[in-house]
Amino acid sequence: MRNLIVTGGAGFIGSNFVHYVLENTDMNVTVLDKLTYAGNLASLDGLPADRFTFVQGDICDEELVDGLVGGADAVVHYAAESHNDNSLHDPRPFLDTNIIGTYTLIEAARKHNKRFHHISTDEVYGDLELDDPQRFTESTPYAPSSPYSSTKAGSDLLVRAWVRSFGLQATISNCSNNYGPYQHVEKFIPRQITNVIDGIRPKLYGKGENVRDWIHADDHSSAVLAILEKGRIGETYLIGADGEKNNKDVVEQILTHMGLPADAYDHVIDRPGHDLRYAIESAKLRTELGWTPSFANFDAGIEDTIKWYRENESWWRPQKAETEAKYKEQGQ
């Protein structure tokens, strides 16, 4: 594989993957991104012009998608509407992008017989009890709880059906919660970091007991590349770095790393239907493909992330005021 199409490559985990591929392989990358509020061309600054191309467009545009996929070796599909709060306010864009967009891409990949990798989320599995020793595995039944997670579950099932019905050369990965550079300030970790930088007390949903399984975006990128190169067609791989932490602990670690008292935050009303706990069992990925995370220590990963946001204020500053105004309207 020499030429990749990366959908949603101006978004958070997509842009991190593009940087990772261009820095660690000799592949050429074409990014297809609609540039909604979550896409940011500044996230793609500094990439080598001879190996990188940007195309602004919609993954639901059949003619555009067909032309791009026909000239590539593989498609890595990151593009998605992904914010739970937004899906509760207006579900329709999630249906358009996550369902119809995925359908458009897999039809093009099927037509041109191209390798396809689909990026998904652990949220398709629903949630676990806080005291449950179990983790999600590739055989965990789907139980999505929001318009976001249900449309991602639907897109996963489309890919699986196209593999079985049409021989689509595809793999799927479901990943736990990402953090790291280039993440929109609406998301939990960058919102807290940028609030502290601005002298604003961080905001914590409810009691902060909800647990997420955190993974640095660089580790997600390395795992996806391993699956793309070595994964078995038709298989699903779960990507996780054993990073389970509740939201309260994450906020307190951020505050401590930034030189403030660990309790210098405010509680806000909880999100409707807020999933309790996600936890990934990534043994299949590690044993079959030999993958291991670089940021196995969450403390080191969060320190790296804080450093990036301190040094790249020009990247996140234009998003900040509008994001906080929206949260204020919601009482959060």
Q: Say if CB 218 and CB 294 are below 8 A apart.
A: yes
The single-letter DSSP state of residue 140 is P
Q: Which of 58, 123, 244, 252 is catalytic?
A: 123
Q: Which of 78, 103, 125, 148 is catalytic?
A: 148
User: Residue 211: which H helix or E strand, with range?
Assistant: strand 211-216
Strands ordered across the beta sheet of 3-7? 52-56, 28-33, 3-7, 74-77, 115-121, 170-175, 236-239
Residue 142 annotated in active site: no
Q: Which of 33, 107, 122, 324 is catalytic?
A: 122
For residue 171, list its beta bridge partners: 117
Q: Say if CB 162 and CB 117 are below 8 A apart.
A: no
> How many helices (H) and strands (E) are present in the chain, helices listed first?
12, 12
* CB-side neighbour CA atoms (13 Å) of 326: 11
Q: How many CB atoms lie within 10 A of CB 124?
A: 24
Which residues, at least 6 apart from 276, have a Cβ–Cβ distance to it below 8 Å? Answer: 127, 128, 129, 130, 209, 210, 211
Q: Say if CB 140 and CB 98 are below 8 A apart.
A: no
Q: Say if CB 33 and CB 58 are below 8 A apart.
A: no
Residue 122 annotated in active site: yes
Closest by CA to 83, choosing from 231, 187, 155, is: 187
What distance in Å separates the CA atoms of residue 280 and residue 122, rounded to the nearest whole number? 7
Q: How many CB atoms lie within 10 A of CB 311?
A: 10
Q: What is the dihedral of CA 265, 267, 273, 278, to 10 degrees?
A: 30
Catalytic positions, written as ranges: 122-123, 148
